[in-house]
Structure 1
């Protein structure tokens, strides 16, 4: 088995992993790091998903890295453009030299005596096992299973004569020209697929169990163009970023403080978009309040335009069974289909599915809380990056990476070898996970597996960018709750035995 001694080990080369690497390059230049990535390239989600029209569901000014301006005027961007952007960031910061591709990490154990993480992986290109011994570990593998998306078993699906496709594993060069398509789901993936496929299909139907809030925004606005044309790129990016973060923050806070007002506003906007179509507003009247689940954003109302064109429709019902020519609904209606797309969500998993242990004792992550939404309770020298549920993922990954750099620099200055978040007084809130605040199905399914939240700071995750900016980037690093340890003295060398004549 090959064994590697590492300073910092980053798990995952998606948005979070590349952000962490770039921060380390800039803010901790004396620190060495290695990234383990299971796939053959960087980009994570944006390389994995290749379904038609895949795009950001957050505005690109907050979705882009803080340290690299997004120079395009478009609020939303296609997957290919995002991949190029991430590659540029990695190239400009010379990150590729630090990445080992096709490494599948299986487990990580903290060795208290050695003050190291011992991480086992497999080189999937050769099948050879590898072991990495790292002083600090950053888990940047996101929060869902890349191998398999969530797809329930539908009654009678074996009788269906057409194709069943999950967006996470979209077939290359799939020809849906002139086909009847049913998309099961009403989230960001579904509202992206409908307008992207509508021109080629005979008809496409979004089948939803319950409605979602869908809000249209212009793909480009006048103020963005003015700022980009008249100001230096970094300043224009900063102003556009500040503006979009503020608007998203206001919308979220308003949804929580005045949910009925925001609900009426969103439904009125959707009603206006549906003018000229035959679609009833009942299909866009959710039974939950705004931001109890993620709000779907669509550029220039393209989803509603597809409905107004007549080749796209919406059905709100439950599935009785699949039949040879489509889906039979509980109402008895049959939706005819040649292709069924199961946009039914993802399978959530923490830390890339790694098994975590402390001195060979397994750790149950659902019994742990997050410290400053960056470190897991009782796990020494480890950070876990989880993006926001109501704002762009990258906002949070940038903050956590910045905090880790501050922490590492503080440890170097003070001569600390270990930092671990601990508490004897704060207890987790029953049923309130680190991703709490949303009642989406994909989170409900794994609520018993996710880390918890405490009632008070720093164990309570407020999902608030402005609060987190102060907490992670401005407040003292050595606040109560974070315990430091000095390096253990090296074991004395064993005396050599004299040869006996």
Structure 2
């Protein structure tokens, strides 16, 4: 089949070499790499929503923006030319350009919700049950390989604690993930519950026109504050360097700086904390009081360090537009909430910025030869493949670096895997523990010492397990993986092709 024929995918076709699940940042990036490296593979992208974008389609709250710089959150193959911290709309525009420039639109099936995936070893095929949302029709797809790019949280049901008295509250209570853009908060008292990246995004936007904003947090969060510009990129543009080169150089520079920060966070957290504070002071003055509302209980990078452009949330506090309360919520009242210490906070609108519910593999039930897959009982290989589950990869990005860095890296590796399967004339590949792994300790997906946000710790038992050896885990260290993953020996004894292990 020629490349031109490959692109002519009919809307009624239901068997493909590869099906990519999700048309978000991971799915679109993976499709690019697949089309570039394996033009002979027929593929489709199944997307539950009515358009592309994933997270950037789901989130509509005020000021929605990236918390990673776009030079590294953007793809390695398409230069980013805007501000490092981009709005949700700018990211969607960028993704739309990738789809258009690479002819990916004909491959995407929107409004297709997967309800079950079942692998047959007798056929070496995945059977995929789908509901087409526009008319409710039940469809069946098949494919040789599944590329799971649907993210790791529930896009429809965010995490909302079951607070006492919620039914008593007379104002507007909404989770940030379910925000209606038509909601008018002008001259309203707004209470934001939470202190993470979402809270830091909505609060400066609310503060522009709201009567007042209060942030109620159980514990503070670290933020990296800097100008929303890249001095190196601006300089290179000024002297006439082309955008491809600028993207490559600036991307490398940012990645190295992130590496230095990560190392400092682990080796000398006190110095890292002081550096972060100095950045904040440069915007709000040396007299800014960090105690008690801006002193997190964990070391930097045990939870995500979000980019806060221009220290805007701290400026809102200094300007009197934001009040911070560090306490736990005891109950809702008719007019707002009461904290455990007895403080009453009245609000016209309460926004829960309380995170999301983890959803492994999109919550889709999986079977292998009629047996239900329990993901926690599988052991992950480099965070992308799982023991006992053939012909499937899962894209799970980084917490301490841009998610998309792993999308690009795995995209290249998976295409190498396809070529290796073709060279071996193999129809099936899976990973399995080797003889030397039989006594390996099996552990939870990630250590709470390494990374411990609430959304992960709440549902750690839903995630696949890891082994104590580095290859049997997702180690969340891009700076190690960028060497290890491209060097993966696809003929190593952990890979089993058509039931045979290479020794």
Q: TM-score, normalization: structure 1?
A: 0.93
> What are the equivalent positions in structure 2 for 1:267-416 lying under 5 Å apart?
267-270=277-280, 273-275=283-285, 280-416=290-426
Provide the C-alpha distance between the structure 2 equivalents of 1:96 and 1:160, rounded to a whole number of angstroms: 45
2:226 to 201, 214, 217: 217
Residues 211-250 of structure 1 correspond to what in structure 2 (within 5 A)? 211-229=220-238, 230-250=240-260
Identify the range of structure 1 (380-389 vs 471-480) with the bigger mean alpha-carbon deviation.
471-480
Per-residue deviation, 1:211: 0.8
Give 1:55 shift.
Answer: 0.4
State the Cα distance separating 1:276 from its structure 2 match. Answer: 8.1
What's the CA shift for 1:177? 0.5
Aligned twin of 1:433: 446
* Match for residue 71 of structure 2 among 61, 65, 74: 61
Task: Report if aligned partners of 1:434, 1:451 keep a CA contact under 8 Å in 2.
Answer: no
| Structure 1 contact 214–298 (Cα < 8 Å) conserved | yes
Contact 1:271 1:281 in 2 (8 A): no
Q: Please say which of residues 429-438 and 144-153 is displaced more in the overlay.
A: 429-438
What's 2:20 paired with? 10
Q: Distance in 1 between matches of 2:448 and 2:21?
A: 20
Q: 1:134-191 deviations in whole A, cap 9, x for unaligned?
A: 1000010000001110001111111111000111111131100000000000000000
Aligned equivalents of 1:37, 1:396: Cα separation in 2:
20
Q: CA deviation at 1:318?
A: 0.7
Q: Does 1:26 align with 2:36?
A: yes
- Shift of residue 295 of structure 1? 1.2
Q: CA separation in 1, counterparts of 2:228 and 2:485?
A: 32
- 1:62-81 equivalent positions in 2, closer than 5 A: 62-72=72-82, 74-81=83-90
Tell me if structure 2 keeps the 8 A contact 1:370–1:434: no
Residue of 461, 467, 478 corresponding to 2:480: 467
Question: Secondary structure in 2 aligned to 1:281?
Answer: coil
* Residue in structure 2 matching 1:202, options 208, 211, 220: 211
Q: Which ranges of structure 1 fall in alignment gaps of 5 or more residues?
A: 488-501
Please give the per-residue CA displacement for 1:354-401, whole angstroms capped at 9, x wherever unaligned. 111110101110111221222122211100000101111111111111
What is the rounded CA distance, in whole Å, between the counterparts of 1:187 and 1:29 in structure 2?
42
Matched, 1:144 2:153: yes
Deviation, 1:130, is: 1.0
CA distance in 1, matches of 2:218, 2:410: 36
Q: CA deviation at 1:436?
A: 8.0
Given that 2:45 and 2:107 are in contact with CA atoms closer than 8 Å, whether structure 1 keeps it comes out as yes
| Structure 1 runs (4+) greater than 3 angstroms displaced | 267-280, 426-429, 431-436
The DSSP-based 3-state class of the residue aligned with 1:109 is: strand
Counterparts of 1:142 and 1:428 in 2: how far apart (Å)? 27
1:273 deviation in Å? 4.6
How many residue pairs align between the two structures?
Answer: 485
Secondary structure (helix, strand or coil) at the match of 2:293 reads helix
Contact 1:434 1:461 in 2 (8 A): no
How far has the Cα of 1:480 moved from its partner? 2.7
Q: Which one of 29, 36, 55 corresponds to residue 45 of structure 1?
A: 55
- Measure the CA separation in 2 of the matches of 1:379 and 1:34: 21
Q: Which moved more, 1:79-88 or 1:271-280?
A: 271-280
Residues of 2 paired with 1:356 and 1:410: CA distance? 26
Which of residues 455, 458, 464 is equivalent to 1:445?
A: 458
Residue equivalent to 2:135 = 126
The 2-side partners of 1:6 and 1:362 are apart by: 24
* Aligned residue among 174, 187, 194 for 2:196: 187
Distance 1:95 1:403 in 2: 20
Residues 443 and 467 in structure 2, CA contact (< 8 A), matched pair in contact too:
no
Map of 2:172 onto structure 1: 163
Quickly say closer, same or farther: Cα 1:470–1:105, change in 2 above 3 A. same
1:417 is paired with a residue of what secondary structure?
coil
For the 8 Å contact 1:154–1:322, the answer to whether it is kept is: yes
Shift of 1:243: 0.8
Q: How far apart are the structure 2 equivalents of 1:460 and 1:162?
A: 46
* Residue segments in structure 2 that go unaligned for 5+ positions in a row: 1-11
- Determine the C-alpha separation between the residues in 2 that align with 1:478 and 1:147: 40
Distance 2:158 2:166 in 1: 17
Q: Distance in 2 between matches of 1:35 and 1:475?
A: 26
Distance 2:345 2:464 in 1: 40
Match of 1:89 in 2: 98
Larger mean CA deviation between 413-422 and 21-30 belongs to: 413-422
Cα distance in 2, alignment partners of residues 383 and 361 from structure 1: 19
Are 2:468 and 1:455 aligned?
Answer: yes
| Residue 474 of structure 1: how far off its partner (Å) | 3.2
> What secondary structure is seen at the aligned counterpart in 2 of 1:448?
helix
Q: Would you say the 8 A contact 2:302–2:453 is kept in 1?
A: yes
Query: What SS is found at the alignment partner of 1:47?
Result: helix
